[in-house]
Amino acid sequence: MRHPVRFALASVLVAAACSGSEKPADNMANMPMPSATATINGPIEPKAGGKVIEITMTSDDKGNYFTPNTIEANPGDVLRYKLTLGVHNVNFLADSNAGKTGLPPASALLQLPGQTHDIAVSFAEGTYYFQCDPHAALGMRGHLTVAAKK
């Protein structure tokens, strides 16, 4: 579909150049493509000095997994869970985080590649467990360590 459009556009531009008008068809080429992706939660801005840490969620012939699955973060950072392939969520399961408070709620299922779910790192220092509920038993698990910035 791209080639015919570009070809037609080039003809219009040549014609337009003669009349001195401004590239009338150019707006069409710059129109954003409709996007099937959507944000489940966010985007959340990191606090001053913080950063966004992207964690992908994938199903492929190697299995179902988070990348990375061991994360170190500082308070004020944002965890951005991004779907690559498959259907996944992220859950800081209370039962597996004994004694921890301020755990983020389990995310909805991400189903469209590119969808993101942001979590602000606003919980106390320590190491936390998270999992994808549909694939936890298959090993889709990870750990987050929150430590004060040095």
What is the nearest approach in angstroms of Cu ion to the Cβ of residue 138?
Answer: 8
- CB-wise, 74 or 107, nearer to Cu ion? 107
Is residue 82 involved in binding Cu ion (CB under 5 A)?
no
Is residue 135 involved in binding Cu ion (CB under 5 A)?
yes
How far apart are the C-alpha atoms of 89 and 135, rounded to whole Å? 9
Is residue 107 involved in binding Cu ion (CB under 5 A)?
no
What is the nearest approach in angstroms of Cu ion to the Cβ of residue 26?
Answer: 43
Among the residue ranges 16-24, 66-74, 105-113, 127-135, the one whose residues contact Cu ion (CB under 5 A): 127-135
Residues 57-76 that bind Cu ion (CB under 5 A): 64
How far apart are the C-alpha atoms of 41 and 125, rounded to whole Å? 23
SS (H, E, C) the chain: CHHHHHHHHHHHHHHHHHHCCCCCCHHHHHCCCCCCCCEEECCCCCCCCCCEEEEEEEEECCEEEEECCEEEECCCCEEEEEEEECCECCECCHHHCCCCCCCCCCCCCECCCCCEEEEECCCCCEEEEEECHHHHHHCCEEEEEECCCC
Shortest-Cβ-distance residue relative to Cu ion: 132
By CB under 5 A, the count of residues binding Cu ion is 5
- CB-wise, 74 or 89, nearer to Cu ion? 89
Is residue 140 involved in binding Cu ion (CB under 5 A)?
yes
- CB-wise, 45 or 60, nearer to Cu ion? 60
**Chain center to CA of 48:** 20
Is residue 88 involved in binding Cu ion (CB under 5 A)?
yes
Interaction site with Cu ion (CB under 5 A): 64, 88, 132, 135, 140
